[in-house]
Structure 1
């Protein structure tokens, strides 16, 4: 993050960011116009901003276009703004918002991040349903050959259409495909009211492209979503959506193949910690039938009537980190030896089930189960009411 703060400390560089905030995707010549700076100085400032990943560049023929990039400011927000919500960081919060919502009239959205992985693993994460469902809740039926049709699975919704096709597939370097249709089912699944969905459906079909480049540490991933209607509804939706999807993709790849999740919660760390370290808390979001002890060295038993049980040993209990090891139970014996980790901050929970990976017989079912119960955990931490296993059963009993 040092490079980001250094880049933002210079007034001339902030002016260049302001220029791109007013109109994204400018050439060096366009950025120099109206500025009291030599072309060479502007070029040097742009190099600093690009090195800090505050801007990214895309080639269009002979032109090199410059775009604002929100990724490093998102990282600052995750580490500082959400953790220390003080008046002194409101300027950074405003910058984060400006970067994510910049130039709504643009027909392109460009976003760059650096991921500590290999091009081969990143390609798999972009194409393999076992990966895409984990960070995007989306998967595709296609052979990934240029011109091939694509069927989208977004949650439980299936979207087919003759114009949903693979445009380019150069393994480990570049992947491009047309965006899905906006059917009524999709509108309902993503929470769009019917007038808004109809407006999106009437906009031109857009395209998303993933460019993969080797970097000093890992790979550089640039997402370009173009063909958007100027000022259109979809431009606003993907402006907030892509940063979240790419952040989850980065977390997944950098934490290995283990199941991971990141929950932004309207709850202090103490309440989140209590939810995962007290019997009342665990009964409030996972299963009503929770017994045992919660101190390090104790064992906890989580029973699911009709499905078996899971036993974990508490290995670590600190205000910012709780870790269990699965040691028994018949619900999912392949869990034995895996670790379940909760990393806790004010307003944030990072969850990892180390050892729960694609290839295990239970992976799809367990992934869906964690998705469900982590939503229940979020509700419990925020409101005091979750949806644990057995809640409906208990409510139905006289």
Structure 2
């Protein structure tokens, strides 16, 4: 947690995060234009942010793309801010220093998130596909139901909120699926990918979201809250929905 706050203390690094918030997936050359400093200086700031888990990178061809990782920021909010308003924190701090394993076949993702969960690879894989676990961890839906390769999420009023159809499964390592929002009429679909990387007694889980249409930027925040719920479920066995003020 100290590395997160130390990295945020520098105004240059905050500028880089603001730039990625406005336009995710930028290269070093694009980010260098945001600061009046050398390429090497910008690289040093990016390295600090990556070590703190606030950005993750994905290499495509000759270029490395940088993505804002909202999960540690959400965890910091849950730990230090929400307890003052709601209730005491009861979850552990994440270790968020990692490398992203990308997928070169789907183009460049719109945003990437990464989280580490103390659980087995089997447990994480099963949780991602289990409708009951999804019901307990999704940040806003009341329940989820599975039919074949499709997970449907329902609002408390029993209206369909979201439909996710798995298009590719690589057992225990990768899930690719469509993302069809239904909370408003005629919203276009997009795609996402889960990547699982076992690391001793814990697993790294990376979420990549592709083809996100304009106007659906809040999906990023929803993913951060849902991943936090998944981590809590797998590490404590307790269901908690990080719904915020939605």
Q: Same fold (TM over 0.5)?
A: yes
Higher helix share: 1
User: Which aligned pairs between 1:53-132 and structure 2 lie closer than 5 A?
Assistant: 53-84=53-84, 108-132=110-134
In the alignment, the residues of structure 2 paired with residue 174 and residue 123 of structure 1 have an alpha-carbon distance, to the nearest angstrom, of 9
**Other-structure match for 1:235:** 217
- Deviation track 1:356-396 (CA, whole Å, cap 9, x = no partner) reads xxxxxxxxxxxxxxxxxxxxxxxxxxxxxxxxxxxxxxxxx
CA shift at 1:262, angstroms?
5.2
Consecutive unaligned residues of structure 1, counting only runs of 5 or more, are 86-106, 143-148, 188-196, 267-398
In the alignment, the residues of structure 2 paired with residue 139 and residue 62 of structure 1 have an alpha-carbon distance, to the nearest angstrom, of 42
In the alignment, the residues of structure 2 paired with residue 35 and residue 47 of structure 1 have an alpha-carbon distance, to the nearest angstrom, of 15
**Matched pairs, number:** 216
Q: SS where residue 235 of structure 1 aligns?
A: coil
**Other-structure match for 1:175:** 175
CA shift at 1:141, angstroms?
2.2
CA shift at 1:36, angstroms?
2.9
In the superposition, the TM-score normalised over structure 2's length comes to 0.74
Over aligned residues, Cα RMSD in angstroms?
Answer: 3.0
Computing the radius of gyration over CA atoms, which structure comes out larger, 1 or 2? 1
**Other-structure match for 1:39:** 39
User: Which aligned pairs between 1:4-43 and structure 2 lie closer than 5 A?
Assistant: 4-43=4-43
1:222 alignment partner, one of 190, 202, 206: 206
CA shift at 1:209, angstroms?
1.0
**Other-structure match for 2:97:** none
**Other-structure match for 2:166:** 166
2:191 alignment partner, one of 179, 201, 207: 207
Runs of 4+ aligned structure 1 residues displaced above 4 Å come to: 155-161, 262-266
Contact 1:55/1:69 (CA < 8 Å) preserved in 2?
yes
Consecutive unaligned residues of structure 2, counting only runs of 5 or more, are 86-108
Contact 1:140/1:153 (CA < 8 Å) preserved in 2?
no
CA shift at 1:250, angstroms?
0.6
In the superposition, the TM-score normalised over structure 1's length comes to 0.48
Q: SS where residue 205 of structure 2 aligns?
A: strand
Contact 1:212/1:222 (CA < 8 Å) preserved in 2?
yes
Q: SS where residue 217 of structure 2 aligns?
A: helix
Q: SS where residue 261 of structure 1 aligns?
A: coil
Contact 2:225/2:242 (CA < 8 Å) preserved in 1?
no
C-alpha distance 7-160 of structure 1, shift in aligned 2 (>3 A): closer
Contact 1:151/1:159 (CA < 8 Å) preserved in 2?
no
